[in-house]
């Protein structure tokens, strides 16, 4: 009998259809449906969309990532009820618009009124602001399936179900979700690195257009941000804003220039802004003109009573004088000049009328200019 060849001996026996091959265990249905991660991590999914462009500045990237992490921590504390009444009022905004109010307060002069091109891209989650107060990983029955669904490239397709929209400040490399705010924190907790979305590029002022100033008003330290030496906004959370702007290239907070309006005047202008506005800012050029006009109004000048808009005559006394005094003069003239009563009466009346007109029209009083009509 011939001996089997080496190749034939190396072929393992084929298992029967009804038995399992030695050393091979097929996963059960329960294991396939299990949402808990296994011992060996699954390979990362492959995405087709390109990443959103962010500035290559490492220092700026670190500052943006730190701000995103701080916002995530704030959301967690808000959800736990530990920050009730402690957040700045301008962060609240309208219901459903809190994230936009946060961006407006923390990133001064960030606006989506001027928009660039909108493209489908993947935004790194470490540079993306979301809103995680409503729900998170623990509120989802099948987190792995939902994470794969929300992170897929299809969420960036125009008109797709559950599509995400992101506003990206290109010069800063900081984005925030316009649609799909709650999924950011969830995907970050699931270990996902990027989010597929319709990304709209937004401009941001250059570093040299911005300036930071630290002032003392009423014993309280404030930090103000000024754009183009004109528009001023008070920072409600300087500890969040200043590190971001200095990493962007803005100079550290400086002393308030002596040539500008006094800080108390700026503070009064901020306090007098229209209530209910999400963003309160002061136009320094207009404030300078207002201060000059106010100072000019404090100067003294000569004027007549008819030029005073705050002067109100005592009409009863005024009319009684015009009637009673001429009658008294007529009686005196009648007694003193019995033969020339008419001439004396006319002289008395004309003299009194002339004196009254002179008192009203002649500039014989001194007042401040701001009281002139």
DSSP characters over 78-111: HHTTSSTTTS-GGGT-STT-HHHHHHHHHSTT--
C-alpha to C-alpha distance for 279 and 349, rounded to whole angstroms: 65
**Crossing angle (nearest 10°) for helices 238-248 and 58-79:** 160
Q: Is 270 helix (H, G, I), strand (E, B) or coil?
A: helix
Listed in sequence order, the residues at least 6 apart from 285 whose beta carbon sits closer than 8 Å to its beta carbon are 230
For residues 191 and 162, the answer to whether their CB atoms sit within 8 Å is: no
Taking 50 as the pLDDT cut, the residues of the chain under it are: 1-24, 32, 38-40
pLDDT on residue 133: 76
Helices (H), the chain: 6-10, 29-33, 58-79, 98-106, 143-151, 183-189, 238-248, 263-271, 284-297, 315-336, 341-361
Q: What does the block give as tokens for 255?
A: 């002393």
- The reported pTM is 0.68
Q: What is the number of H-type helices and E-type strands within the chain? A: 11, 11
User: What is the rounded end-to-end Cα distance, in angstroms, of the chain?
Assistant: 132
User: What pLDDT shows up at residue 93?
Assistant: 60
Determine the pLDDT at residue 16: 43
Give, in order, the Cα–Cα distances in Å from 21 to each of 7, 12, 18, 134, 343. Answer: 20, 10, 10, 49, 143
| Rounded-to-integer distance, Cα 98 and Cα 369, Å | 47
Query: Residues 6 or more apart from 20 whose CB is under 8 A from it?
Result: 26
For 6-59, how does the pLDDT look when each residue is reduced to its tens digit (9 = 90+)?
A: 444 444 444 444 444 444 455 555 554 555 554 445 566 678 999 998 999 999
Contact 365, 300 (CB under 8 A): no
**Residue 6 confidence (pLDDT):** 40
Task: Give residue for tokens 């030029």.
Answer: 307
Contact 270, 224 (CB under 8 A): no
Rounded CA-CA distance 88/105 in Å is 9
pLDDT for 21 equals: 44
């Amino acid at each position: 009998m011939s001996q089997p060849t080496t190749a034939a001996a190396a072929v393992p026996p084929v298992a029967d259809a009804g038995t399992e091959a030695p050393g091979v265990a097929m996963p059960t249905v329960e294991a396939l449906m299990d949402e808990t991660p296994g011992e060996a991590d699954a390979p990362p999914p492959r995405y087709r969309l390109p990443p959103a462009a962010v500035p290559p500045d490492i220092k700026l990237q670190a500052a943006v990532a730190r701000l995103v992490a701080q916002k995530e921590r704030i959301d967690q504390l808000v959800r736990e009820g530990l920050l009730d009444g402690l957040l700045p009022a301008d962060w609240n905004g309208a219901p459903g618009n809190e994230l936009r109010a946060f961006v407006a307060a923390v990133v001064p002069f960030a606006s989506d009124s001027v928009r660039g091109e909108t493209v489908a891209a993947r935004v790194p989650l470490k540079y993306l602001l979301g809103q995680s107060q409503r729900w998170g990983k623990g509120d989802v029955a099948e987190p792995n399936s939902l994470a794969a669904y929300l992170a897929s490239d299809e969420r960036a397709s125009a008109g797709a179900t559950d599509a995400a929209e992101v506003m990206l400040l290109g010069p800063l490399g900081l984005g925030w979700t316009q649609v799909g705010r709650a999924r950011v924190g969830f995907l970050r907790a699931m270990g996902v690195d990027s989010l597929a979305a319709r990304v709209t590029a937004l401009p941001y002022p250059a570093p040299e257009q911005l300036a930071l100033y630290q002032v003392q008003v009423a014993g309280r330290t404030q930090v103000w941000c000024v754009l183009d030496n004109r528009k001023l906004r008070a920072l409600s959370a300087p500890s969040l804003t200043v590190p971001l702007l200095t990493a962007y290239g803005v100079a550290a907070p400086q002393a308030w220039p002596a040539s500008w309006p006094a800080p108390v005047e700026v503070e009064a202008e901020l306090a007098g802004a229209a209530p209910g506005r999400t963003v309160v800012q002061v136009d320094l050029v207009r404030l300078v003109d207002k201060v000059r006009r106010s100072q000019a109004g404090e100067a003294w000048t000569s004027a007549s009573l008819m030029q005073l808009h705050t002067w109100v005559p005592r009409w009863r006394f005024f009319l009684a004088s015009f009637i009673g005094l001429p009658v008294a003069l007529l009686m005196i003239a009648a007694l003193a000049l019995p033969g020339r009563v008419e001439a004396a009466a006319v002289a008395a009346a004309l003299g009194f009328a002339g004196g009254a007109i002179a008192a009203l029209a002649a500039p014989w009083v001194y007042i401040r200019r701001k009281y002139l009509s």
